[in-house]
């Protein structure tokens, strides 16, 4: 009988160990399930593509000496400008007089497209500007016809996200 009692005691110890292991496992699982963690903030910032024209105009000479475009967005962008020429009377009203773009020389890094726009070849980082559209030492001289009409050249800028690089092709 003693032998049987020894087995019984060993079985009770094994049973108690198994129950203890189950309790520890279940307690750990429940503890992990109900554990609270600090909230994770979403760091996603949507892309913003925008630009602004910066130009220097001397009213005394009627010449634009600098035309640049600043990337005002938050991602690198390709930038381009379109120049639109027209005539105004002394009061600043547009008149139907034929207008041609004054001749000027493009600066390095700029190129004229078949659509009549001027594109800067490289992407421009946020907050940065293109170099001057006009080659060094040149300016865009606006005409005065002597009859009270003055030529105006407006600069319109456009920006396009530079990633992927193929995006620039969609302008054409």
What's the pLDDT at 115?
87
Give the span between the Cα atoms of 80 and 123, in whole angstroms: 11
Q: Would you tell me which CATH number, out of the four given (1.20.120, 2.60.40, 3.90.105, 1.10.530), belongs to the domain 51-171?
A: 2.60.40
Which residues are registered as beta bridge partners of 134?
106
Q: Per-residue confidence at 5, pLDDT binned at 50, 70, 90?
A: low
- Checking if the pLDDT of 1 tops 60, the result is no
pLDDT digits (tens, 9 = 90+) for 143-156: 877 788 988 899 99
Q: What percent of the chain has pLDDT over 90?
A: 38
Stretch 34-59: mean pLDDT, rounded? 85
Give the span between the Cα atoms of 109 and 37, in whole angstroms: 52
Count of other CB atoms within 10 angstroms of residue 51 = 22
Closest by CA to 123, choosing from 169, 168, 58, is: 168
- Sketch the domain layout of the chain as residue ranges: 1-36, 51-171
């Amino acid at each position: 009988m003693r032998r049987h009692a020894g087995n019984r005691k060993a079985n009770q110890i094994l049973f108690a160990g198994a129950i203890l292991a189950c309790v520890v496992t279940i307690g750990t699982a429940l503890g992990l399930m109900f554990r609270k963690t600090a909230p994770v903030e979403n760091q996603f910032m949507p892309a913003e593509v925008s630009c602004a024209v910066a130009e220097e105009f001397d009213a005394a000479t009627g010449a634009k000496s600098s035309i640049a475009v600043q990337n005002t967005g938050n991602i690198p962008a390709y930038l381009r400008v379109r120049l639109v020429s027209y005539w105004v009377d002394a009061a600043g009203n547009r008149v139907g007089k034929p207008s041609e773009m004054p001749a000027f020389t493009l600066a390095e890094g700029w190129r004229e497209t078949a659509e009549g726009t001027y594109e800067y070849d490289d992407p421009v980082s946020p907050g940065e500007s293109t170099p001057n559209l006009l080659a060094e030492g040149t300016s865009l001289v606006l005409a005065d016809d002597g009859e009270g009409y003055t030529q105006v050249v407006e600069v319109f800028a456009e920006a396009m996200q530079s990633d992927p690089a193929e995006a620039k092709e969609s302008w054409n």
